[in-house]
Structure 1
Amino acid sequence: MRLRLLVVSLLSVSFLGALDHTVVSTSLATIAGDLGALEQMSWVVVGYTLSSTVLLPVIGKLGDAIGPRSVFLTSLVAFLAASVLCGFAPDMGWLVVARVIQGATSAGLQLMSQTILAHVTSPRERPRYMAVIGAAFPIAILIGPVVGGLITDYWGWPWVFWINVPIGLAALALAVVVVPHIDPAPARRFDVAGSVTFTISLVALVLAVSWVGDPSAARAAMVCFLTAVVSFAAFLLVELRSPQPVVPLRLFRNRTIAAGLALSAIIGIGLFSVTAYLPTYFQMAYRTSVTVSGLVPIATVFGMLVSNLVTGWMASRSGRYRVFAISGTMLAAVGLFVMALLPVGLPLWVPMVVMFFVGVGTGAFMSLIIAVVQSAVPKTQLGAVTASVNLVRQVGATVTTAVIGGVVATGVAGLLPGGLDIATLTPQLVHAADVATQAEVAAIYTSVFAPVFIGLAIAYAVGVVAAVLLPAGRLSEEQPVAVDAQPLPA
């Protein structure tokens, strides 16, 4: 029973953190307009993304050093405090700082949920429970924008943040009771130098890819790229000499970990990066409305959700995991390749079905690979390796999103006919144009996105190789010795 309650607690907190990211997107323009800072609107997203990404290794190492329960409860309290501050923000600077705190603590909630689960379950049980926790993200994508819009329209945008408080307090009360005490790793000196150099390198990288498509920020982007390279080189030197590195590089020699990290990165590169552009693609190439264009990402995420839950249950039943990674990467690669070949003018249900299967393929190993990688390390390094799996996924998504944005903007601008300017090109403008112009723009977007889909298909093809390199075998049924809980019946 206690394990059931623990899973409920971890799921509710993970869902709260995931929903916080998606629910704000709908109300962002309203918030920026009320605070009189539309030009700074992007920093609300960039600040959250930066902190939730760059602090993952530090949070993971803290979880190993002082115990995941302490980091989890501290992150939850700080997340609720930041939510209150966001709702009371009098200006954009206040809001951005509060969102930075929210991003960092949200990363702590997600990461420690996965780490705690790894401590209290056997490798065989873990995929089933990890799939349940992992379901928080696709569900948040599905309902977050709608919930954010309804709250903003009927209650006001501060409640987008304040709604976290009553839910979070209930989750906190449950967590205090059911989250077990887990002994930390033997005390050693914390790797401050590694944490600082790694944080600087990732902050610089994320800022660089965020600004790379803005001509006015080209010089700043170049400076950030150079800073990222120098800082990352310094980080490698520090980690090679550190007795307790924040990112244990020696773990990457393990084939399971190396292949698992590659597969996790491919999820960010191959799917998470393109979902933001799918609505625009279908509005232009298929001439759909804004509302209808959202059906394709919804179909993709729904496929991911169903597959994530089903394969997690199947892997726990059989102990096998390699087959799901191989079949999932192959299915997603084929689906994205088919997307590149679809001609203009097909009914919308065709790409919806194709992207549904891309989601199914990705969901087949999305949460499973975390459980597999966790099974390859001692318990004293669960936080660090779990952070690494999440980190490569988020960095892959962030960098590839920027690359796709640049490719699409450059490609469309170079092919647009005279009289149309990409700076003012909107779906509404295209839909109001004559039939010939609509067809031409549709053909342009189809031709520009075709190589994007092919590139992402190639990324998943590389994932097939990584999946094949996973060692064959079954997850162990050995129970952890310090678990005050009983597993759910199979």
Structure 2
Amino acid sequence: MRLRLLVVSLLSVSFLGALDHTVVSTSLATIAGDLGALEQMSWVVVGYTLSSTVLLPVIGKLGDAIGPRLVFLTALVAFLAASALCGFAPDMGWLVVARIVQGAASAGLQLMSQTILAHVTSPRERPRYMAIIGAAFPIAILVGPVLGGLITDYWGWRWVFWINVPVGVAALALAVAAVPHIDAAPRRRFDVAGAVAFTISLVALVVAVSWIGEPATATTALIAFLVAALAFAAFLLAELKAEEPIVPLGMLRNRTIAAGLTLSAIIGVGLFSVTAYLPTYFQMAYGTSVTVSGLVPIATVFGMLVSNLATGALASRSGRYRVFAITGTGLAATGLLVMAFLPVGLPLWVPMIVMFVVGVGTGSFMSLIIAVVQSSVSRRELGTATASVNLVRQIGATVTTAVIGGVIAAGVAPLLPDEFDIATLTPQLVHAAPPAAQLAVAEIYTSVFAPIFIGLAAAYLVGLAAAVLLPAGRLPEHQPAAVDAEPLPA
């Protein structure tokens, strides 16, 4: 009973953090217009995403150093305070700063939920519970945009943030009662140099990838690439010398961890990166409305949700995990290859089924691989290992999203018919054009997206190789070097 209460608490908090990432998307234009800062609109999302990614290894190490319960509760309080401040924002600068804090706190909620669950469950039962917690993200993708639109239309955009406060206070009360005390690892000097160098390298990398496609910012992007490379070199040097590195490079000598990190990165590279562009693709290539174009991402996420829960339960029952990773990467690679060769003019249900299969393949190891990596480290390293799995996924998604955006822009612009201008091109303009022009645009987007789908399929084939390299066997019954919290009774 105590474990079930804890799972309910962690699921509610994880869902709150995941929902806040998706619920804002439909209200962005309203927020920017109300605050009179349309040109700064993207920073509401970028600031949140960057802070939630950059601080993952720091938060993971803090969880190991001072205990995940304290970090979790602190992150929840910070999330509620930042949500309130977002709602009271008088200008865009205030909102962006509050969103940065909110993103960092959300990372703490997600990461510590997984870490706490790892401390109080055995490796064998962990996939089932990890899948339940992991379901928060796909559910948030499904309901977030609609919920954000309804709140903005009927209550105003500020309630998109304020609604977190009463829900979060209830979740906080439940968490205080449900989350157990977990002993921290022996304290050592915190790796400040590694944390700073990593932050600089990642921020510079995201800036460089985002700006490299624009002629006006190309020089700045090249400088940012140089800064990222130098900072990353400094980060590696710091990790090799640090007594307690925030990312222990020695973990990569473990084949299970190395393969698991590769598989996690593939999820970010292969699927999370492209979902943002799928609606645009179907609006242009299939001539669908904005509303109808969202059906394909919904089918993808629904497939991910179903297989995530199913494989979590099956892996806990049998202890086997390798078969799900091999089958999942193979399914996703096949689905993306099919997407690359679908001809123009097919009914929408065809790509919906194909992308559902891609979602099923991805979901089959999305949460499971976290449990597998956690089973390969000692309890004192659970926070760090969990952070590493999430970190490579986030970086893969962030960098590949920017790359795909650049490929689309560079590929579409020179091929457009004369009556269209890439700077003002919208689905509405295309749908109002003569049939011949619509067909031309559809063929352009199909030709541009085909190599993108092939590239993403190749990424999943790399994941398939990593899955094959996972050691055969079953998840163990006990965590290595168990020195603190005991598994809770179910």
Residues 121, 487 of structure 2: 8 Å contact kept: no
Does 2:464 correspond to 1:485?
no
SS at match of 1:394: helix
Counterpart Cα distance in 1 of 2:217 and 2:291: 33
Q: Which runs of 5+ in 1 are unaligned?
A: none
Residues 247, 384 of structure 1: 8 Å contact kept: yes
Q: For residue 281 of structure 2, what is the aligned residue in structure 1? A: 281
Q: CA deviation at 1:482?
A: 2.9
Q: For residue 380 of structure 1, what is the aligned residue in structure 2? A: 380
Residues 180, 484 of structure 1: 8 Å contact kept: no
One-letter amino acid of the structure 2 residue matched with residue 275 of structure 1: T
Residues 211, 217 of structure 1: 8 Å contact kept: yes
Q: CA deviation at 1:420?
A: 1.5
1:56-102 residue CA offsets vs partner (Å, 9 max, x unmatched)? 00000000000000000000000000000000000000000000000
SS at match of 2:24: helix
Does 2:176 correspond to 1:176?
yes
Counterpart Cα distance in 2 of 1:156 and 1:284: 31
Counterpart Cα distance in 2 of 1:309 and 1:212: 39
Does 2:163 correspond to 1:163?
yes
One-letter amino acid of the structure 1 residue matched with residue 128 of structure 2: R
Q: Aligned-pair RMSD on alpha carbons?
A: 1.0
Does 2:443 correspond to 1:443?
yes
Q: CA deviation at 1:477?
A: 2.0
Residues 209, 398 of structure 1: 8 Å contact kept: no
1:355-395 residue CA offsets vs partner (Å, 9 max, x unmatched)? 00000000000000000000000011111111010000010
One-letter amino acid of the structure 2 residue matched with residue 483 of structure 1: E
Counterpart Cα distance in 1 of 2:205 and 2:385: 21
Q: How many residues align?
A: 487
353-362 vs 411-420, which moves further? 411-420
Does 2:404 correspond to 1:401?
no
Residues 152, 160 of structure 1: 8 Å contact kept: yes
SS at match of 2:102: helix
Does 2:244 correspond to 1:267?
no
Q: For residue 88 of structure 1, what is the aligned residue in structure 2? A: 88
Residues 213, 402 of structure 1: 8 Å contact kept: no
Q: CA deviation at 1:422?
A: 1.0
Counterpart Cα distance in 2 of 1:73 and 1:214: 42
Residues 82, 98 of structure 1: 8 Å contact kept: yes
Q: For residue 470 of structure 2, what is the aligned residue in structure 1? A: 470
The TM-score, its normalising length taken from structure 2, stands at 0.98
Q: For residue 20 of structure 1, what is the aligned residue in structure 2? A: 20
SS at match of 1:89: coil
Q: CA deviation at 1:486?
A: 1.0
Q: How does 1:13-412 map to 2 (within 5 A)?
A: 13-412=13-412
136-145 vs 407-416, which moves further? 407-416
One-letter amino acid of the structure 2 residue matched with residue 482 of structure 1: A
Counterpart Cα distance in 2 of 1:224 and 1:66: 34
Q: CA deviation at 1:253?
A: 0.8
The TM-score, its normalising length taken from structure 1, stands at 0.98
Residues 183, 485 of structure 2: 8 Å contact kept: no
Residues 17, 110 of structure 1: 8 Å contact kept: yes
One-letter amino acid of the structure 2 residue matched with residue 436 of structure 1: A
Counterpart Cα distance in 2 of 1:99 and 1:225: 26
One-letter amino acid of the structure 2 residue matched with residue 173 of structure 1: A
Counterpart Cα distance in 2 of 1:482 and 1:241: 30
Does 2:461 correspond to 1:461?
yes
Counterpart Cα distance in 2 of 1:355 and 1:77: 38
234-243 vs 365-374, which moves further? 234-243
Q: For residue 413 of structure 2, what is the aligned residue in structure 1? A: 413
SS at match of 1:228: helix
Counterpart Cα distance in 2 of 1:119 and 1:260: 19
SS at match of 1:384: helix
Q: Which runs of 5+ in 2 are unaligned?
A: none
Q: CA deviation at 1:353?
A: 0.1
One-letter amino acid of the structure 2 residue matched with residue 410 of structure 1: A
